[in-house]
Chains A and B, each alone.
Chain A
Amino acid sequence: MSTKKDSQTAAWGWFFQRVSAVGLVVLLGFHFAVEHFIVGAANVSAGNTVERITNGLIQGDHILGQITINMPAFLYQASAVSLLGFSVFHGMYGVYNILMEQDRLKPYEKPIKYFFIVFSAALFVQGILIFLAFFEPFWQVYDPR
């Protein structure tokens, strides 16, 4: 039985799904442009990723090889963390909604909801750990060589 609180939660979910969608058009477009069009996926290395994340320095080594973008580091970091948060929310909330629209799954709504909350949190933490690994104090932890 759905309550007023449930429908309010669903309304906020719908709203954030739209907000994250608009954010993702920009941020995921930027991510593709940087990783595939400017740097080139085959040229991505831990070294130049460190340059991008800690210095905001995007250096072209692909077809658009002449392009060098030196943006403020905090802006690049904010775009990376926002991309992570938006994509995890948008993707997982989307899949959750597809599952919930199947009548036969209705009886399992609660366990499925909690599974997605825990799974999304784990994905977000995983992404943050990857992000942090590019900062110097963590290099030693991840790569003792």
Chain B
Amino acid sequence: MSQDRRVESYDRGRIEDVGRWKDWAKHKPGMWAFYLHRFTGLVLSFYLVMHLTVLGTGFWLGHTAYTELIHSFESLFIVKLLEVGLFAAFVFHALNGIRIVMFDMTIGLDVQEQLFYLSIALSFAVVMVGVPFFLLPL
């Protein structure tokens, strides 16, 4: 049994139910962190399925078709923009995920809101550094 009563006695209620979304105006930062983590998680999971499906399709058609498939995707600017979005989703999900793993070890619970703001700020910085890699022509 944990010595930390904050962990033992914390009643999560029904925060997971999407019905809580209608109270969005009353939500505190922790709830927004929860929503953002869910949203980016769903985006990344959807992308994973698409990624494996598209690459797999390329392979059934052969190596040449695979290379042509990637080049035709990458010639579209919208694809590059979506890749920046994907990168942003990954970076935030990873940084906020580290924040969640810290909470599991009861580290940083008192400053959870500040850690959320930190994960947002760091995500923004990392994505800004990454943007040229995605958008600049070769």
Contacts and interface: CB of A to CB of B under 8 A. Distances in A.
Nearest to B105: A18
Contact of B87 (A36, A40, A103): A36
Contacts of A72: none
Interface stretch (A1-9, A51-59, A73-81, A89-97): A89-97
Given A28-B90, A40-B138, A129 B63 contact: no
Given A25-B94, A37-B133, A92-B45, A42 B138 contact: yes
Interface of A: 18, 21-22, 24-25, 28-29, 32, 36-37, 40-47, 61-63, 87-88, 91-92, 94-95, 98, 101-103, 123, 126-127, 129-130, 133, 139, 142-145
Interface residues of B, number: 41
A106 B90 CA distance: 29
B71 A142 contact: no
A66 B76 CA distance: 26
Contacts of A103: 14, 17
A140 B17 CA distance: 51
Interface of B: 14, 16-18, 38, 41-42, 44-45, 48-49, 52-53, 55-56, 59-60, 62-64, 66-67, 70-71, 74-75, 80, 83, 87, 90, 94, 97-98, 101, 104, 130, 132-134, 136, 138
Contact of A36 (B44, B53, B63, B134): B134
B71 to A, nearest CB: 7
A32 B101 contact: no
B62 A145 contact: yes
15 contacts: A25-B97, A32-B90, A36-B83, A37-B133, A42-B70, A44-B74, A47-B67, A61-B138, A95-B42, A123-B52, A126-B52, A126-B53, A130-B55, A143-B62, A145-B62
A145 B67 CA distance: 14
Nearest to A92: B45
Interface of A is mostly: helix
B130 to A, nearest CB: 8
Contacts of B14: 103
Contacts of B80: 41
A142 B62 contact: yes
B71 A91 contact: no
Contacts of B60: 142
